[in-house]
Amino acid sequence: MAKKSIKIVIPLLLGGFILYWVYRDFDFSHVQEVLLHATNWAWMFYSLLFGILSHLLRGYRWHQTLSPLGEHPRISNCIDGIFVMYAANLVVPRSGEVFRCAMLDHYDRVPFAKALGTVITERVVDVICMVGIALMAFLVQTRVFFTFFEQTGTKIPSLVNLITSPWFYVALGCVAGILWLAVHLVRTLSYFERVKQTAFSIWRGIGTLKELKSPWRYALYTLLIWVCYYFHFYFTFYCFSFTAHLGMMAGLVMFVAGTVAVLVPTPNGAGPWHFAIITMMMLYGVSATDAGIYALIVHAVQTLLVILLGLYGWLHVMRVNRAS
Protein backbone atom coordinates (compact mmCIF):
# COMPACT_ATOMS: atom_id res chain seq x y z
CA MET A 1 0.00 0.00 0.00
CA ALA A 2 2.82 2.41 0.88
CA LYS A 3 4.59 1.77 -2.43
CA LYS A 4 1.38 2.38 -4.38
CA SER A 5 0.80 5.60 -2.49
CA ILE A 6 4.33 6.78 -3.27
CA LYS A 7 3.78 6.12 -6.99
CA ILE A 8 0.77 8.44 -6.85
CA VAL A 9 2.06 11.08 -4.46
CA ILE A 10 5.53 11.69 -5.95
CA PRO A 11 4.28 12.58 -9.47
CA LEU A 12 1.60 14.83 -7.94
CA LEU A 13 4.14 16.60 -5.75
CA LEU A 14 6.60 16.98 -8.62
CA GLY A 15 3.95 18.36 -10.96
CA GLY A 16 2.52 20.58 -8.26
CA PHE A 17 5.93 22.02 -7.38
CA ILE A 18 6.75 22.85 -11.01
CA LEU A 19 3.28 24.35 -11.57
CA TYR A 20 3.68 26.48 -8.44
CA TRP A 21 7.09 27.68 -9.55
CA VAL A 22 5.95 28.51 -13.07
CA TYR A 23 2.79 30.34 -11.92
CA ARG A 24 4.01 31.73 -8.59
CA ASP A 25 3.71 35.39 -9.78
CA PHE A 26 0.88 34.85 -12.27
CA ASP A 27 -2.25 37.02 -12.29
CA PHE A 28 -5.12 34.54 -12.68
CA SER A 29 -7.77 37.26 -13.05
CA HIS A 30 -7.22 37.31 -16.82
CA VAL A 31 -7.93 33.60 -17.28
CA GLN A 32 -11.70 33.87 -16.73
CA GLU A 33 -11.97 36.80 -19.13
CA VAL A 34 -10.15 34.90 -21.87
CA LEU A 35 -12.23 31.77 -21.24
CA LEU A 36 -15.53 33.65 -21.52
CA HIS A 37 -14.81 36.22 -24.20
CA ALA A 38 -11.59 35.56 -26.09
CA THR A 39 -11.49 31.82 -26.79
CA ASN A 40 -12.53 30.41 -30.15
CA TRP A 41 -14.04 27.12 -29.06
CA ALA A 42 -14.63 25.93 -32.62
CA TRP A 43 -10.89 25.56 -33.13
CA MET A 44 -10.61 23.81 -29.77
CA PHE A 45 -13.24 21.34 -30.98
CA TYR A 46 -11.26 20.66 -34.17
CA SER A 47 -8.17 20.11 -32.05
CA LEU A 48 -9.96 17.60 -29.84
CA LEU A 49 -11.17 15.68 -32.89
CA PHE A 50 -7.56 15.07 -33.88
CA GLY A 51 -6.82 13.96 -30.32
CA ILE A 52 -9.61 11.38 -30.50
CA LEU A 53 -8.52 10.27 -33.98
CA SER A 54 -4.96 9.65 -32.75
CA HIS A 55 -6.31 7.28 -30.09
CA LEU A 56 -8.45 5.42 -32.64
CA LEU A 57 -5.46 4.98 -34.96
CA ARG A 58 -3.31 3.79 -32.06
CA GLY A 59 -5.96 1.19 -31.24
CA TYR A 60 -6.02 -0.07 -34.83
CA ARG A 61 -2.22 -0.20 -34.91
CA TRP A 62 -2.11 -2.18 -31.68
CA HIS A 63 -4.65 -4.66 -33.06
CA GLN A 64 -2.45 -5.15 -36.12
CA THR A 65 0.65 -6.01 -34.06
CA LEU A 66 -1.21 -8.69 -32.12
CA SER A 67 -2.23 -10.58 -35.23
CA PRO A 68 1.20 -12.19 -35.95
CA LEU A 69 1.08 -13.60 -32.41
CA GLY A 70 -2.12 -15.44 -33.24
CA GLU A 71 -4.19 -13.11 -31.09
CA HIS A 72 -7.29 -11.46 -32.53
CA PRO A 73 -9.01 -9.33 -29.88
CA ARG A 74 -11.95 -7.08 -30.63
CA ILE A 75 -10.81 -3.86 -32.28
CA SER A 76 -13.15 -1.97 -29.96
CA ASN A 77 -11.39 -3.51 -26.96
CA CYS A 78 -8.03 -2.32 -28.27
CA ILE A 79 -9.38 1.19 -28.75
CA ASP A 80 -11.06 1.22 -25.34
CA GLY A 81 -7.77 0.01 -23.87
CA ILE A 82 -6.03 3.06 -25.38
CA PHE A 83 -8.67 5.38 -23.89
CA VAL A 84 -8.29 3.79 -20.46
CA MET A 85 -4.49 3.82 -20.72
CA TYR A 86 -4.23 7.59 -21.00
CA ALA A 87 -6.75 8.12 -18.19
CA ALA A 88 -4.90 5.68 -15.91
CA ASN A 89 -1.67 7.58 -16.58
CA LEU A 90 -3.26 10.61 -14.93
CA VAL A 91 -3.41 8.69 -11.65
CA VAL A 92 -0.13 6.76 -11.82
CA PRO A 93 2.13 7.85 -14.70
CA ARG A 94 2.94 5.03 -17.14
CA SER A 95 0.55 2.62 -15.41
CA GLY A 96 -1.80 2.74 -18.38
CA GLU A 97 0.32 0.31 -20.39
CA VAL A 98 -0.28 -2.31 -17.70
CA PHE A 99 -4.01 -1.52 -17.58
CA ARG A 100 -4.60 -1.95 -21.29
CA CYS A 101 -2.69 -5.23 -21.42
CA ALA A 102 -4.69 -6.48 -18.44
CA MET A 103 -7.93 -5.51 -20.20
CA LEU A 104 -7.13 -7.65 -23.24
CA ASP A 105 -6.05 -10.48 -20.96
CA HIS A 106 -9.38 -10.29 -19.14
CA TYR A 107 -11.78 -9.77 -22.03
CA ASP A 108 -10.05 -11.44 -25.00
CA ARG A 109 -7.74 -13.92 -23.25
CA VAL A 110 -4.69 -12.32 -24.85
CA PRO A 111 -1.75 -13.38 -22.64
CA PHE A 112 -0.54 -10.40 -20.68
CA ALA A 113 3.10 -10.91 -21.63
CA LYS A 114 2.31 -11.02 -25.36
CA ALA A 115 0.36 -7.78 -25.14
CA LEU A 116 3.13 -6.19 -23.10
CA GLY A 117 5.66 -7.13 -25.77
CA THR A 118 3.66 -5.32 -28.44
CA VAL A 119 3.36 -2.28 -26.17
CA ILE A 120 7.15 -2.19 -25.76
CA THR A 121 7.41 -2.36 -29.55
CA GLU A 122 5.09 0.63 -29.81
CA ARG A 123 7.20 2.61 -27.38
CA VAL A 124 10.38 1.87 -29.30
CA VAL A 125 8.74 3.02 -32.54
CA ASP A 126 7.34 6.14 -30.85
CA VAL A 127 10.76 7.06 -29.44
CA ILE A 128 12.30 6.73 -32.90
CA CYS A 129 9.57 8.96 -34.34
CA MET A 130 9.94 11.50 -31.57
CA VAL A 131 13.72 11.69 -32.02
CA GLY A 132 13.28 12.12 -35.78
CA ILE A 133 10.74 14.91 -35.36
CA ALA A 134 12.90 16.60 -32.71
CA LEU A 135 15.94 16.53 -35.01
CA MET A 136 13.91 17.99 -37.86
CA ALA A 137 12.59 20.77 -35.62
CA PHE A 138 16.08 21.47 -34.29
CA LEU A 139 17.55 21.75 -37.79
CA VAL A 140 14.90 24.19 -39.03
CA GLN A 141 14.73 26.27 -35.83
CA THR A 142 18.22 25.94 -34.38
CA ARG A 143 18.37 29.55 -33.22
CA VAL A 144 15.19 29.20 -31.17
CA PHE A 145 16.45 26.09 -29.39
CA PHE A 146 19.79 27.71 -28.52
CA THR A 147 17.96 30.73 -27.14
CA PHE A 148 15.75 28.40 -25.10
CA PHE A 149 18.80 26.66 -23.62
CA GLU A 150 20.42 29.97 -22.73
CA GLN A 151 17.32 31.47 -21.11
CA THR A 152 16.54 28.39 -19.02
CA GLY A 153 19.98 28.28 -17.47
CA THR A 154 21.38 25.49 -19.64
CA LYS A 155 24.12 27.69 -21.03
CA ILE A 156 25.39 30.26 -18.56
CA PRO A 157 28.81 31.67 -17.86
CA SER A 158 29.52 30.20 -14.46
CA LEU A 159 28.64 27.46 -12.02
CA VAL A 160 27.45 30.07 -9.53
CA ASN A 161 24.86 31.36 -11.99
CA LEU A 162 23.78 27.81 -12.71
CA ILE A 163 23.02 26.84 -9.13
CA THR A 164 21.28 30.14 -8.45
CA SER A 165 19.06 29.92 -11.53
CA PRO A 166 15.50 28.91 -10.53
CA TRP A 167 15.05 27.14 -13.86
CA PHE A 168 17.97 24.88 -12.98
CA TYR A 169 15.94 23.41 -10.15
CA VAL A 170 12.89 23.00 -12.37
CA ALA A 171 15.03 21.16 -14.91
CA LEU A 172 16.63 19.14 -12.11
CA GLY A 173 13.18 18.08 -10.90
CA CYS A 174 12.28 17.00 -14.43
CA VAL A 175 15.47 14.94 -14.77
CA ALA A 176 14.87 13.35 -11.37
CA GLY A 177 11.34 12.44 -12.44
CA ILE A 178 12.57 10.81 -15.64
CA LEU A 179 15.18 8.82 -13.71
CA TRP A 180 12.52 7.69 -11.25
CA LEU A 181 10.34 6.55 -14.16
CA ALA A 182 13.25 4.62 -15.70
CA VAL A 183 13.93 2.81 -12.42
CA HIS A 184 10.24 2.02 -12.03
CA LEU A 185 10.00 0.57 -15.55
CA VAL A 186 13.11 -1.56 -15.04
CA ARG A 187 11.69 -2.95 -11.81
CA THR A 188 8.35 -3.61 -13.46
CA LEU A 189 9.94 -5.50 -16.34
CA SER A 190 12.19 -7.39 -13.92
CA TYR A 191 9.11 -8.54 -12.05
CA PHE A 192 7.46 -9.88 -15.20
CA GLU A 193 10.64 -11.60 -16.34
CA ARG A 194 10.58 -13.72 -13.22
CA VAL A 195 7.35 -15.28 -14.40
CA LYS A 196 7.75 -18.47 -16.49
CA GLN A 197 7.82 -17.82 -20.24
CA THR A 198 7.20 -14.10 -19.80
CA ALA A 199 10.59 -12.93 -21.03
CA PHE A 200 10.19 -15.06 -24.16
CA SER A 201 6.69 -13.74 -24.76
CA ILE A 202 7.83 -10.15 -24.44
CA TRP A 203 10.64 -10.75 -26.91
CA ARG A 204 8.16 -12.43 -29.22
CA GLY A 205 5.93 -9.38 -29.01
CA ILE A 206 8.80 -7.05 -29.81
CA GLY A 207 9.58 -9.10 -32.90
CA THR A 208 6.09 -8.82 -34.36
CA LEU A 209 7.10 -5.96 -36.66
CA LYS A 210 9.07 -8.44 -38.80
CA GLU A 211 5.98 -10.61 -39.20
CA LEU A 212 3.36 -8.00 -40.04
CA LYS A 213 1.30 -8.87 -43.11
CA SER A 214 1.13 -5.20 -44.09
CA PRO A 215 4.12 -3.24 -42.75
CA TRP A 216 3.15 -0.28 -44.91
CA ARG A 217 -0.19 -0.08 -43.14
CA TYR A 218 1.64 -0.07 -39.81
CA ALA A 219 3.89 2.72 -41.09
CA LEU A 220 0.85 4.67 -42.28
CA TYR A 221 -0.86 4.30 -38.91
CA THR A 222 2.30 5.54 -37.20
CA LEU A 223 2.63 8.54 -39.51
CA LEU A 224 -1.02 9.49 -39.10
CA ILE A 225 -0.82 9.13 -35.30
CA TRP A 226 1.97 11.69 -35.11
CA VAL A 227 0.27 13.98 -37.62
CA CYS A 228 -2.83 13.87 -35.43
CA TYR A 229 -0.75 14.58 -32.32
CA TYR A 230 0.69 17.63 -34.05
CA PHE A 231 -2.65 19.05 -35.18
CA HIS A 232 -4.17 18.25 -31.79
CA PHE A 233 -1.65 20.75 -30.46
CA TYR A 234 -1.28 23.17 -33.38
CA PHE A 235 -4.98 23.98 -33.90
CA THR A 236 -5.18 25.30 -30.35
CA PHE A 237 -3.12 28.29 -31.51
CA TYR A 238 -6.19 29.55 -33.37
CA CYS A 239 -8.28 29.49 -30.21
CA PHE A 240 -6.64 32.72 -29.00
CA SER A 241 -5.84 36.01 -30.70
CA PHE A 242 -2.39 36.16 -29.09
CA THR A 243 -1.26 32.82 -30.57
CA ALA A 244 -3.16 32.74 -33.87
CA HIS A 245 -0.22 34.36 -35.69
CA LEU A 246 2.21 31.59 -34.76
CA GLY A 247 3.12 29.51 -37.78
CA MET A 248 3.51 25.79 -38.31
CA MET A 249 7.25 25.89 -37.64
CA ALA A 250 6.65 27.53 -34.27
CA GLY A 251 4.01 24.87 -33.68
CA LEU A 252 6.52 22.14 -34.53
CA VAL A 253 9.11 23.51 -32.09
CA MET A 254 6.59 23.79 -29.25
CA PHE A 255 5.14 20.39 -30.09
CA VAL A 256 8.59 18.84 -29.70
CA ALA A 257 9.23 20.74 -26.47
CA GLY A 258 5.87 19.65 -25.07
CA THR A 259 6.34 16.04 -26.16
CA VAL A 260 9.71 15.84 -24.41
CA ALA A 261 8.28 17.57 -21.32
CA VAL A 262 5.53 14.98 -20.85
CA LEU A 263 8.19 12.30 -20.42
CA VAL A 264 8.52 13.63 -16.90
CA PRO A 265 6.19 11.42 -14.82
CA THR A 266 3.56 13.94 -13.74
CA PRO A 267 -0.19 13.69 -14.49
CA ASN A 268 -0.48 14.38 -18.23
CA GLY A 269 2.80 16.28 -18.07
CA ALA A 270 1.34 18.92 -15.75
CA GLY A 271 4.08 21.34 -14.77
CA PRO A 272 6.89 20.37 -17.15
CA TRP A 273 4.57 20.83 -20.15
CA HIS A 274 3.49 24.29 -18.95
CA PHE A 275 7.10 25.28 -18.33
CA ALA A 276 8.25 24.17 -21.80
CA ILE A 277 5.34 25.71 -23.70
CA ILE A 278 5.38 29.04 -21.85
CA THR A 279 9.13 29.45 -22.28
CA MET A 280 8.99 28.59 -25.98
CA MET A 281 6.04 30.89 -26.62
CA MET A 282 7.85 33.80 -25.04
CA LEU A 283 10.71 33.23 -27.50
CA TYR A 284 8.20 33.76 -30.30
CA GLY A 285 7.00 37.07 -28.88
CA VAL A 286 4.00 35.97 -26.81
CA SER A 287 3.80 37.70 -23.44
CA ALA A 288 4.35 35.70 -20.27
CA THR A 289 0.75 36.31 -19.18
CA ASP A 290 -0.75 35.23 -22.48
CA ALA A 291 1.52 32.18 -22.69
CA GLY A 292 0.53 31.21 -19.15
CA ILE A 293 -3.17 31.54 -20.00
CA TYR A 294 -2.72 29.45 -23.14
CA ALA A 295 -0.93 26.66 -21.26
CA LEU A 296 -3.51 26.58 -18.46
CA ILE A 297 -6.57 26.44 -20.71
CA VAL A 298 -5.22 24.07 -23.36
CA HIS A 299 -3.77 21.63 -20.85
CA ALA A 300 -6.97 21.65 -18.77
CA VAL A 301 -9.22 21.02 -21.79
CA GLN A 302 -7.00 18.26 -23.18
CA THR A 303 -6.78 16.63 -19.76
CA LEU A 304 -10.57 16.75 -19.49
CA LEU A 305 -10.76 14.98 -22.86
CA VAL A 306 -8.45 12.24 -21.55
CA ILE A 307 -10.67 11.76 -18.49
CA LEU A 308 -13.91 11.62 -20.50
CA LEU A 309 -12.46 9.18 -23.04
CA GLY A 310 -11.12 7.03 -20.21
CA LEU A 311 -14.56 6.87 -18.57
CA TYR A 312 -16.16 6.09 -21.92
CA GLY A 313 -13.61 3.36 -22.69
CA TRP A 314 -14.09 1.73 -19.28
CA LEU A 315 -17.90 1.73 -19.51
CA HIS A 316 -17.96 0.73 -23.17
CA VAL A 317 -15.59 -2.23 -22.80
CA MET A 318 -17.70 -3.61 -19.94
CA ARG A 319 -20.98 -3.13 -21.79
CA VAL A 320 -19.79 -4.64 -25.08
CA ASN A 321 -18.18 -7.70 -23.48
CA ARG A 322 -21.04 -8.28 -21.07
CA ALA A 323 -23.47 -8.32 -23.96
CA SER A 324 -21.44 -10.89 -25.93
pLDDT digits (tens, 9 = 90+) for 188-238: 555 444 444 555 555 665 666 677 778 899 999 999 999 999 999 999 999
What sign has the CA pseudo-torsion 8, 11, 15, 18? positive
Residue 20's pLDDT is what? 83
- As a whole number of angstroms, the distance between CA 218 and CA 224 comes to 10
Phi then psi for residue 22, to 5 deg, are: -70, -40
Residue 76's pLDDT is what? 95
Residue 158's pLDDT is what? 41
Write the Ramachandran bin of 181: left for phi over 0, alpha for psi from -120 to 50, otherwise beta. Answer: alpha
pTM of the model: 0.81
Stretches where the chain sits below pLDDT 50 are 154-160, 162-164, 191-196
119, 110 Cβ separation under 8 angstroms? no
Residue 24's pLDDT is what? 84
Residue 300's pLDDT is what? 93
What sign has the CA pseudo-torsion 270, 272, 273, 278? positive
- As a whole number of angstroms, the distance between CA 190 and CA 221 comes to 31
Residue 189's pLDDT is what? 54
Residue 114's pLDDT is what? 85
- As a whole number of angstroms, the distance between CA 102 and CA 105 comes to 5
Burial 298-322 (b: 16+ CB within 10 A, else e): bbebbbebbeebbeebbebbeeebe
DSSP state of 26: -
Helix axes 96-108, 112-140, angle to 10 degrees: 140
